[in-house]
Copies of this chain bind each other. A is one copy, B any other.
Amino acid sequence: MARGQGRITLQDVADAAGVSVATVSFVANNRQDVRLTDATRERVQEVIDRLGYRPNALAKNLASGGSKFIGLVADAIATTPFAGQIIHGAQDEAWKHGYVLLVANTEGNEDAEREAISMMLEHQVRGILYSTWFHRETVVPTALREADFVLVDCFAPGADARAVVPDEQQGGRTATELLLAAGHRRIAFVNATTPSPAVTGRLAGYREALAAAGIPYDPALVLEATPDQEGGWEIADQLLALGVKAAFLYNDRQGMGFYDAARRRGLSIPEDISIVGFDNQEVIAAHLRPPLTTVALPHYELGAAGVRVLLGLEDASGETPLRVTCPPVPRESVAAAG
C-alpha cells in the first residue's frame, strides 16, 4: 500500500469491471440522475470495494472546477483555546457540506498572512474565513478580496465585508441578568481599560439590563481594570469599597485575579459577593472555587456560522455583522441577594 504511484484509479476499476470509466464515475459518485442497471451498479460497486478504490480529490476538483476547500486564517491558534474552538466549529460545519478546512496560522504576522491567503487562493478555495482571536475591528487584507470571504470574530466597517461576531451587548445584558435574577439590585461592573467592541458592548448590555429592571444607572458602580488576572486583583480594593454584593467582571481572568484578592481578605464568594465573569474560559472558570458563573463567548458557533455565511446558507449582508448569541453559563459564584 502506502505512497503515491500504486493507487487504484478509476481506470483500474473500469478495466477490472469491464466497463468504462464514465460508468465507474457514476456509481462511485452514486449519481441517481444517470440510469444504470442495478446489475451494473452492484457489479461495479463490488469491484470498487474489492480493489479499495479511493477517488483522487485533486483530480476531482480539477475536473469539476471549484474545489471543496475552505480556508481559515487565524491570528493566534497557539496562544488561546479560542482559536481552536473557531476551527472546530468551522470544520464541523464545513464537513457537513462536503468541504475540507485548510488552516493557516499567522500569529499576527502580515507576511505570513499574505502568504497564507495566497496559498489558499492557489488551492482554489471556495472561500476564506478570516478570524481573530478576540473580537475587534480589522482591515481587510487586499489579497482577501480575490476570494469569497467572511470575517469571523472581527469586522471592517464600511468595507463591504460579511462578518460574524459575538453579540457583546446581549452578553453583557445576560451577565447582568444572572445577578438580577438572584435578586441583586446594586451591581458593579468592572470593564476593561482597552477600547474595543466588547468594552462598549458589554457596558451597553449592562445598562440595558439595569434599565429593563427599572434600576437607575450609577456610573460610580462602573470600574475599569486590565482584562486579566492582574486587573482583577488590582481592582479588588475599589470594588470592595463600593460595598456591593454583586459584580459583573469583564472576563474570567479578572475573575480569577479577584478570587485571589477576595480570599486574601478573608471574603468568600458568593456569600460575601456574587461574581459573574465573561468568556467561559474552561480551564479557569470551571475550576475556580467556587466554579465561576459566566457568559460564554460562542467561538464554536462563530466558526460554524462563518462557513454558513460563506456558503450562502445564512445571511449576513452589508454593514451589519451577524451577531451570535453569548449564552449564560451558570455555576456557583452567584448567591441570592441577602
Contact between A95 and B124 (Cβ–Cβ < 8 Å)? no
Q: Which of B83, B88, B104, B284 contacts A284 (CB 8 A)?
A: B284
What separation, in Å, do the CA atoms of A148 and B1 have in the docked complex? 10
By a CB distance below 8 angstroms, the chain B residues around A332 are: none
By a CB distance below 8 angstroms, the chain B residues around A85 are: 78
The answer to the question of A300 belonging to the interface, with a C-beta cut-off of 8 Å to chain B, is yes
Contact between B62 and A88 (Cβ–Cβ < 8 Å)? no
Contact between B124 and A57 (Cβ–Cβ < 8 Å)? yes
Measured between C-beta atoms, what is the minimum distance from A8 to chain B in Å? 11
Contact between A287 and B84 (Cβ–Cβ < 8 Å)? no
By a CB distance below 8 angstroms, the chain B residues around A18 are: none
The answer to the question of A67 belonging to the interface, with a C-beta cut-off of 8 Å to chain B, is yes
Contact between A65 and B4 (Cβ–Cβ < 8 Å)? yes
Question: How often does this chain occur in the complex, in copies?
Answer: 2
Residue of B nearest to A284 (CB): B283
By a CB distance below 8 angstroms, the chain B residues around A50 are: none
Contact between A103 and B101 (Cβ–Cβ < 8 Å)? yes
Residue of B nearest to A98 (CB): B119
By a CB distance below 8 angstroms, the chain B residues around A65 are: 4-5
By a CB distance below 8 angstroms, the chain B residues around A115 are: 95
The answer to the question of A145 belonging to the interface, with a C-beta cut-off of 8 Å to chain B, is yes
What separation, in Å, do the CA atoms of A105 and B72 have in the docked complex? 14
Contact between A58 and B56 (Cβ–Cβ < 8 Å)? no
Which of A168-176, A195-203, A226-234 contacts its partner? Answer: A226-234
The answer to the question of A108 belonging to the interface, with a C-beta cut-off of 8 Å to chain B, is no
The answer to the question of A31 belonging to the interface, with a C-beta cut-off of 8 Å to chain B, is no
Interface residues of A in 198-230 (CB under 8 A from B): 228-230
Interface residues of A in 244-272 (CB under 8 A from B): 253, 256-257, 259-260, 263-264
The answer to the question of A160 belonging to the interface, with a C-beta cut-off of 8 Å to chain B, is no
What separation, in Å, do the CA atoms of A147 and B263 have in the docked complex? 54
Q: Which of B1, B88, B105 contacts A78 (CB 8 A)?
A: B88
Contact between A3 and B263 (Cβ–Cβ < 8 Å)? no
The answer to the question of A37 belonging to the interface, with a C-beta cut-off of 8 Å to chain B, is no
Task: Report which residue of A100, A119, A260, A263 has the largest number of chain B beta carbons within 10 angstroms of its beta carbon.
Answer: A100
By a CB distance below 8 angstroms, the chain B residues around A95 are: 115
Give me the interface of A with B, judged by CB distance under 8 Å. Answer: 1-5, 54-59, 61-62, 65-67, 77-81, 83-85, 87-88, 91-92, 95, 100-105, 107, 115, 118-119, 121-124, 145-148, 228-230, 233, 253, 256-257, 259-260, 263-264, 281-284, 287-289, 300
Given contacts A84-B84, A229-B289, A283-B284, 9 further A-B contacts (CB under 8 A): A54-B122, A56-B62, A56-B122, A57-B124, A59-B62, A80-B81, A83-B84, A100-B123, A101-B103
> Closest 4 A-B residue pairs measured CB to CB?
A78-B88, A229-B287, A57-B122, A77-B84
